[in-house]
Structure 1
Amino acid sequence: MKTIPRRVVTGIRNGKSIIEQDEIVTNVSEHFPGLIISDIWSTDSTPANFEEKVIENTAFPSTPKNGSYFRYVQIPPDKHLGIVAPEGQPHPLMHQTDTLDYIIIISGEIYLIVEEGETLLKAGDIVIQRGTNHAWSNRSDLPCIQLAVLLDAKTA
């Protein structure tokens, strides 16, 4: 699986559909060694307009009000990041966002950790993450690649 994705964007010119962009994305960041994040597309309204937005990759995004992020994430094995969750302590990368996230595991495997449990996810699995405190733990020897759509949401 590629580390940096290719993005193909369609458009309309003279009333006909066209391929407007076809390129390897340049909006890629590495917040920790091997943790590759690329925010592929963003909207800042619903209904969405079709204009491209410049997006700054952040480890924990701030989704635009009434907007969305489409995100590509490659998560390396925990042992490559030196991450250790001490027994009885929360995972060090536990975080919470004010978003509704649709996450698809593309390759590899990863644990989704919440405050009262965890589950192993594998390629093809889908997570609907509804603004909960959570972390990702890759306990395998290979990177995990996921795609995520993050939607601005009202907090409970």
Structure 2
Amino acid sequence: MSSLENYQARVVTTGSTADGRSTVVADANTTTRAATPTFSVADVWQVDAVPPAVDAADTLNGTVALDPPKGGVLVRMVSFPPDAEWQASGGYEEAMSAIGGADSHQGDSEIVGLHATDTVDVCTVVEGELVAVLQDSEVVLRVGDSLVQRGTKHAWSNRTDRPATIVATMISATR
């Protein structure tokens, strides 16, 4: 069984010195994360409004939420264990609860984890293979593939025997 409880994401942030030279202003693991033994979310960067100032401070507050702030953007890394390790045991519900999304499920009992958010998400696979499951189709995503998820009902499935990781840039949206 995979153990993603201790999964961390390193974030290096640039800025400028007093005389305007580019420099590293922060280099640390993200502190805004949610993890269960089989599921991990690490929020990397968030701003409350776009366009942000180039020197806008990160607005993460240590608590993972399902969606970015209204009008904002959130960059997140999500690691999914193989389905066999977590979906049959209610792991999807536990994971969604850990990120404040317990009420986001859409009640479609035929698709485990089906949910929707008021966001446009650009999701890129950086490790493994993941299936984006939609109500009438699904698509296999491999390393380097991106999915633009535009607020539709969807779920994620990892049908392999290894964890899969995506980077999702979540943009607040309206319907």
Normalising by structure 2, what TM-score?
Answer: 0.79
Corresponding position of 2:39: 35
Corresponding position of 1:4: 8
Contact 1:100 1:151 in 2 (8 A): yes
Shift of 1:121: 1.0
Q: What pairs with 1:8-87 in structure 2 (closer than 5 Å)?
A: 8-14=12-18, 15-30=20-35, 32-49=36-53, 50-55=56-61, 56-58=63-65, 61-83=66-88
Contact 1:33 1:81 in 2 (8 A): no
Shift of 1:52: 1.6
- Structure 1 stretches of 4+ moved >6 Å: none
For structure 2, list consecutive stretches of 5 or more residues without a partner in the other structure. Answer: 1-5, 90-107
What residue identity is the alignment partner of 2:154?
Answer: H
Residue-pair matches, total: 149
Bigger mean CA offset, 114-123 vs 2-11: 2-11
Shift of 1:89: 4.3
Identity of aligned residues (%): 31
Normalising by structure 1, what TM-score?
Answer: 0.88
Shift of 1:27: 2.0
Q: Residue 110 of structure 2: SS of its match in structure 1?
A: coil
For structure 1, list consecutive stretches of 5 or more residues without a partner in the other structure. Answer: none
Q: Structure 2: how far apart are the matches of 1:45 and 1:26?
A: 21
What residue identity is the alignment partner of 2:162?
Answer: L
Q: Structure 2: how far apart are the matches of 1:54 and 1:128?
A: 23
